[in-house]
Amino acid sequence: MGLAEQRLAGFDGSAKDAISTVAGWTTGRLWTAALEALVARGALQPAEDRFLGVRWRTRWPTADPGLERELIAHLRAHVARDAAGAPSWEDALLSLARGTRILASIWPDDEALERARPALLRCTARAPLGRDVRALIDEAADAATIAAISASS
């Protein structure tokens, strides 16, 4: 029995509650803390959207778009160097990007991503964090699906 199944044993709540139960934390609280930490470091700047004077959502755009462009250029150069060695923070970040399926934000051109793929796979193999994150995401999604099916029957 996997961790998700253990946490869901006897569970009879909503699909949203299932995700928190499986993950072991409240997603909103975790995201808020992470976003506030990034705001405190000057990386993000909260922007409230209003409709007819009523706040309906908060977006978290990059405070300095140049910083994001520099990071993307740095990650692309790291992959292009394809240097062997000990895992680096770049390898870990690329691994997370791969595990969360957001590589297109670093390589928006499919052809460029395909050219980088062999070196990218070597980089991410040095830091398997993304693989572990992907497994947790998939496990939580499976558990939420099971909970939603159970709740609807």
Instruction: Classify residue 94: in a domain, yes or no.
Output: yes
Instruction: Classify residue 4: in a domain, yes or no.
Output: no
Instruction: Classify residue 2: in a domain, yes or no.
Output: no
Instruction: Classify residue 8: in a domain, yes or no.
Output: no
Instruction: Classify residue 78: in a domain, yes or no.
Output: yes
Average pLDDT for 11-23: 52
Domain that holds residue 44: 13-152
Rounded to an integer, what distance in angstroms lies between the CA atom of residue 27 and that of residue 51? 26
Rounded to an integer, what distance in angstroms lies between the CA atom of residue 116 and that of residue 103? 11
Instruction: Classify residue 106: in a domain, yes or no.
Output: yes
Instruction: Classify residue 88: in a domain, yes or no.
Output: yes
Residues 82-117 pLDDT 10s: 878 888 889 999 999 998 888 998 999 999 999 999
Task: Compute the radius of gyration of the chain from its Cα atoms.
Answer: 19
Reported pTM? 0.64
Instruction: Classify residue 93: in a domain, yes or no.
Output: yes
Counted domains in the chain: 1
